[in-house]
Amino acid sequence: MPTSRARRRLRAFALAAVVLASASCSTVPTGGSIFAARDTGGGDPLSQPYVRILAGPPKPNGSPLEIVVGFLTAAASFDDPLRTLAKQYLTGEAQRTWSPFDAVTIYDNGKPTIDTPRDDIQQAHVALTGTMLGELDRDGHYVPNAASAGSGLNKGFTLVKVSGQWRISSAPAGLLLSNDDFKRAYRSFDLYFAAYQSVGLVADQVRVPINPGEGLAKSLVHRLLAGPTTPLRGAVESAFGPNVDVNGVSVEGDTVVVDFTYGIVDSAQVSGYREALSAQLSWTLKPLTESRRIEVRVNGEQFPGGPFIIDPRDYERFDPDVLSSQPTTYYLQQGRLHRIDKDSDSPVTLGTGGQARQFTHLAVSNDEPPKMAALEKSGGVWVTGITSGNQWQRWIEGPGLTPPSWDRYGDVWSVSRQGPGKSQVIRAHEPSRQLPVSAPELESTDVKAFRVARDGARVAVISDDGRGEQVLVGSINRTNWVVENLHPLVPAEDGQRIVDIAWRDASTLLVLTDTKSDRELTPWSVTQGVRVETAKAAARIESITAGPDPISLLAGTAEGEVLVWDPQKPKWSTLVKSGAGAPVYPLG
């Protein structure tokens, strides 16, 4: 009996040992609690993947074609902003004259061809032919090639033999980049600048060159400090002073640290600028920092007087699109103001002074409560409040006024056609106190529509200078009260009529064009000067109003219908059957 007990005890002990040993053997658990899978990947979170050209020195005994291709490749390589390697392809004389900073030309379908068939002579000509796409101006602003300037590219290179090797003795000024090179070497970013009186932000778009030695975020901040591009110059202001520079951008945990030189302290002391520069920085860096907080430091140390931390959520109200939630839609029906209720499809009649005036072309301000402006049939822009008891008051009068347009500062804008080919821009802030605004580029044209963007800085104009209707985009300099920097967005074409324009968001303008065959609605990027999407068919439509996504696009027809664009189907569906005037959203 004792032996059997001892044996049993021994067996239990051996079993326990085996269990323990096997438990310690399985090192990877096969069960357990559930963890959130976050991206902990290394690398610079502010960076984006990019491809670099690995340029090399000239190929020994290379043919002229190879030398030219090598030069173009080396010039497209952004490892070195000074393009030292590319200069090795040039003769000594050409090295002095050629500079990568002169110009940036973007082409497509480039094809180098050699003119000189014989190799034994001492000079050769290579021509690069292709399609010219556009240019990058010195601000980093991409300017698409105007259709009128012709789209062909033909650049000539001259090569001579230097100690037995072909070298380029004359090259076109600046950089010649193929479309692929351009996409590879530059990233498109929106810069944000403070609108007049820092009431909001205005978007500006630039191409930031990738510099591997600097990092994308630093390049972007650097570019932001340099100020707005030409189309916005004068219309916006930067809260960063002229003597601010960036030392570096780094990530520390959940915070992005932007290190400036001491000038930032001076800039932040100007009243209202601290908030404005925070908004600028937070909005500009948003594509890279996402929802991280941003800390501003001065030469690596904490901002004097406490940490300067920017939480992006605090600056959402600076949205350059201005409209965020679904705004109320208004329209006029038989001289009365109606509102489209989101919940019920039936329009609600608002009580306003039902005078026997014929109002068309309603415009709604963004005030609370909103003000209404409309064009009276006999001429003049009349304004009323939305509450009952408010009366229509005439704010602007003049011959041939365009439909009124509100800006965010509470001004009503219109253009008076004072004769054929003679226009005057007028604004008014109070009843019967209209102020003329200088617009040198519009004075000798016929203006059909004048729409101030919701950010208050840009304007879009339908004008006809005799060559046909075109859409111009410019900016308002509110310091000198000038509408300036007007450049064509939609060029005039034969048989093309611009029916209506509407701002979708801060940088997109919807253009309703009518050609002989078709009527279509096209969104254009104001900042890039290109079509954003393909055109939508828009038969019967006479007027449009739009807002940033997800605000739906509305249109009015000549028959008094109100249509809404359903992006899912995608087609127009009817919202109001008949009798309605053009629907409008606030501003835009």
Residues in contact with another protein by the rule CB under 8 A = 41-44, 47-56, 59, 62, 66, 69-70, 72-73, 79, 106, 108-109, 131, 133-134, 142, 144, 178-180, 182-184, 187-188, 212-213, 287, 525, 528, 530-532
* Shortest distance in whole angstroms from residue 549 CB to another protein: 12
Pairing of strands 175-178, 104-114: parallel
DSSP annotation string for 447-496: EEEEEE-TTSSEEEEEEESSS-EEEEEEEEETTTTEEEEEEEEE---TT-
What's the maximum distance between 2 C-alpha atoms anywhere in the chain?
A: 126
Contacts of 417 (CB under 8 A, 6+ apart): 399, 400, 401, 402, 423, 446, 447
DSSP state of 544: E
Min CB(42)–another protein separation in Å: 6
Residue 545 β-bridge partners: 554
**Residue written as token pair 């090639």:** 145
**Nearest distance from residue 171's CB to another protein, in Å?**
15
Pick the closer one to another protein by CB: 184 or 223.
184
Between residues 46 and 563, which has the closer beta carbon with respect to another protein? Answer: 46
| Closest distance of CB 272 from another protein, Å | 30
Nearer to another protein, 53 or 199 (CB): 53
CB nearer to another protein: pick between 48 and 302: 48
- Choose between 126 and 584: whose C-beta lies nearer to another protein: 126
535-544 contacts: CB < 8 A, separation 24 or more? 536/565, 536/570, 538/512, 538/572, 541/499, 541/512, 541/572, 542/499, 542/500, 542/582, 543/499, 543/500, 543/512, 543/582, 543/583, 544/500, 544/501, 544/502, 544/510, 544/512
Nearer to another protein, 14 or 51 (CB): 51
- Which whole-number Å values give the CA distances from 455 to 109, 378, 504, 530, in the listed order? 38, 31, 11, 20
At its nearest, how many Å lie between another protein and the CB of residue 51?
4
Amino acid (1-letter code) at residue 319: D
Q: Which residues pair with 366 in a beta bridge?
A: none
Q: Which is nearer to another protein, 393 or 525 (CB)?
A: 525
Helix (H) or strand (E) segment spanning residue 17: helix 2-25
Task: Tell me the residue type at 497.
Answer: R
Smallest gap, in angstroms, from Cβ of residue 119 to another protein? 17
213 or 354: CB nearest another protein: 213
Least spacing, CB of residue 527 vs another protein, in Å: 9
Contact 134, 142 (CB under 8 A): yes
DSSP codes, 320-358: TT---S---EEEEETTEEEEE-SSSSS-EE------S--
CB of 296 to another protein, least distance (A): 25
- Residue closer to another protein (CB basis): 414 or 527: 527
Residue 80 CB, nearest approach to another protein (Å):
10
Closest CB 425 distance from another protein, rounded Å: 30
Shortest reach from residue 134's CB to another protein, in Å: 7
Q: What are phi and psi of 189, to 5 degrees?
A: -135, 150
Can you name the residues that pair with 250 across neighbouring β-strands? 257
Q: Minimal distance in Å, beta carbon 129 to another protein?
A: 14
Q: Which is nearer to another protein, 186 or 392 (CB)?
A: 186
Nearer to another protein, 130 or 583 (CB): 130
The Cα–Cα gap between 513 and 455 comes to 24
Strand partners, 296: 258, 308
Cα distance between residue 587 and residue 408, in whole Å: 7
Q: How far is the CB of 427 from another protein (least distance, A)?
A: 32
Q: Which is nearer to another protein, 3 or 26 (CB)?
A: 26
Nearer to another protein, 83 or 184 (CB): 184
What single-letter DSSP state applies at residue 318? G
Residue type, 100: P
The phi, psi pair for 24, rounded to 5°, reads -75, -15
Closer to another protein by Cβ: residue 80 or 314: 80
Sheet holding 405-406, edge to edge: 405-406, 412-419, 422-428, 434-437
Q: For the CB of residue 395, give the shortest distance to another protein in the complex, in Å.
A: 38
Rg (CA), the chain: 31
| Spatial separation of the C-alpha atoms in residues 502 and 329, rounded to whole Å | 14
Whether 513 and 507 have beta carbons less than 8 Å apart is answered as: no
